[in-house]
């Protein structure tokens, strides 16, 4: 069971843009091997930083309009939002410590 919340176009505003804590959004797909590699790292970080940062996942195959809204052309793409605004963005299968460094100073 994942500690990251799956979000859709319908829930994105409430879960991400109106969040009172920073949000790490993982744009991913089932067939993407690097996405599968970082998945456990995201789950661990979601558990470790529960209440300080929210970790959510957007399946680009199921949510092409949401992926298009943020110009996602490669996955995995990780975007950190703070106060509803895009704060950081990184593409690729990153090691856990690099994912953590994307948001640690924002919490």
Quote the CA–CA distance of 66 and 95 in Å, as a whole number.
25
What are the residue numbers of the active site?
A: 32, 35
Q: Which two tokens stand for residue 30?
A: 């089932």
Q: Which two tokens stand for residue 66?
A: 């949401």
Phi and psi of 79, rounded to 5°?
-125, 135
Quote the CA–CA distance of 37 and 82 in Å, as a whole number.
25
């Amino acid at each position: 069971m994942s500690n990251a919340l799956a979000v859709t176009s319908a829930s994105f505003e409430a879960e991400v843009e109106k969040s009172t804590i920073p949000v790490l959004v993982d744009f991913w797909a089932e067939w993407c091997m690097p996405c599968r590699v970082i998945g456990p790292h995201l789950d661990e970080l979601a558990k470790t930083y529960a209440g300080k940062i929210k970790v959510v996942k957007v399946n680009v195959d199921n949510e092409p309009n949401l992926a298009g809204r943020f110009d996602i052309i490669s996955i995995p793409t990780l975007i950190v939002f703070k106060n509803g605004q895009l704060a950081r963005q990184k593409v690729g299968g990153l090691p856990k410590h690099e994912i953590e460094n994307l948001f640690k100073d924002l919490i």
